[in-house]
């Protein structure tokens, strides 16, 4: 991971930790391990696996399993934005 990627990852972890309470969004940072239709499975740094609903309304970078990602998630559990961290 280059310097810029490391900075983006650190910001994503910080935002994921404190959430975006003013926007009503929380974040999940980790590794994309599986894409199953409209569901993305993310493994967090703590080893937890989180399933997140991603559809045509979600903004997203081009990601594939194995990519480091940060996903901004609405209170209802829907992905608002999938950001590739590499």
Report the alpha-carbon distance of residue 80 to residue 29 in Å, rounded.
14
Residue 21 has pLDDT above 50, yes or no: no
The whole domain housing 70 covers 3-84
Rg of the chain on CA atoms, in Å: 12
pLDDT in tens, 46-79: 999 999 999 999 999 999 999 999 999 988 788 9
What's the confidence (pLDDT) of residue 83? 94
- Say how many domains are in the chain: 1
CATH number of the structural domain spanning residue 52: 2.40.50.320
Q: What is the mean pLDDT of residues 7-19?
A: 54
């Amino acid at each position: 991971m280059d310097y810029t990627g490391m900075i983006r990852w650190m910001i994503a972890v910080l935002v994921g930790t404190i959430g975006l309470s003013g926007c009503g969004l929380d974040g999940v940072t980790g590794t994309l391990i599986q894409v199953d239709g409209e569901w993305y499975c993310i493994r967090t740094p703590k080893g937890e696996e989180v399933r997140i609903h991603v559809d045509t309304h979600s903004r997203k970078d081009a990601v594939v399993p194995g990519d480091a990602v940060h996903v901004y998630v609405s209170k209802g559990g829907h992905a608002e934005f999938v950001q590739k961290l590499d």
